Amino acid sequence: MTIPAQSTPKQTYHAPQLRQYGTINTLTQASPGSGDLDGAGLTSTPNRTA
């Protein structure tokens, strides 16, 4: 026979807060030297679908 787990009281609701980190224009600007960070290129292996 198992012992029932003690439940913790529910947390109170907090409305989500919007944080602004900058404008879309400044957030999407590439920094010098960032280049191809995801590794995709002519020598990369494509994803397998099967």
pLDDT per residue, tens digit, the chain (50 aa), is 567 677 888 999 999 999 988 888 888 876 665 555 566 666 777 777 76
Question: What's the pTM value of the predicted model, to 2 decimals?
Answer: 0.27
Q: Greatest CA span in the chain, whole angstroms?
A: 63
Separation CA 35–CA 25 (nearest Å): 18
